[in-house]
Amino acid sequence: MAEERTHDSAGCAIFDESGKVLLVHQTYGKKLWHLPGGIAELGESPWIVAKRECMEEVSIDVELGPLSGLYFLSHRNAYVFIFKATKFTGEPTPDGAEIDQWGYFDVNDLPSPMENFTVTRIRDAHGYNGIVTLRDQNVRDYRVGGSDVW
């Protein structure tokens, strides 16, 4: 019998002119560095989720680019949609509740702690060549570490 589907999630890999990625630091759970994003509400499309979460977490209105990656999480029976972006309006400001810091980081020198799933999504978006990356991300492969690990 198939596992019941949980809510999909979506986020943005936002790159500046030099190719650095904007990341947010979470105040909850393992207090990880992550791409801005979150879980879809009932009936919400992935592109709306990505834009809403960027506004909620760091007060920016993102101009979404292409879907760079689609990731299937078998342990949740759900998908993660990652959009690549280079433009936004507003000044990034952490919400203070879920997010306490933000910053731009070189894709080869990412902050710690971070999930290996997030590292993969960042690198896929950074290397996006017009073809959407499709990946399974299985909980048995999940790790948290730093750039010294990846």
Q: What is the pLDDT of residues 4-21, one digit of tens each?
A: 778 999 999 999 999 999
pLDDT tens, residue by residue, 26-44: 999 999 999 999 999 999 9
Calculate the CA dihedral of residues 25, 28, 32, 38 and round it to 10 degrees. Answer: -80
- Read off the pTM: 0.92
The token pair that represents 38 in the structure block: 């979150």
Q: Is the peptide bond before 94 cis (omega within 30 degrees of 0)?
A: no
Domains and CATH numbers, the chain: 9-144 (3.90.79.10)
Taking the C-alpha atoms of 30, 109, 74 and 39 in order, what is their torsion angle to the nearest 10 degrees? 60
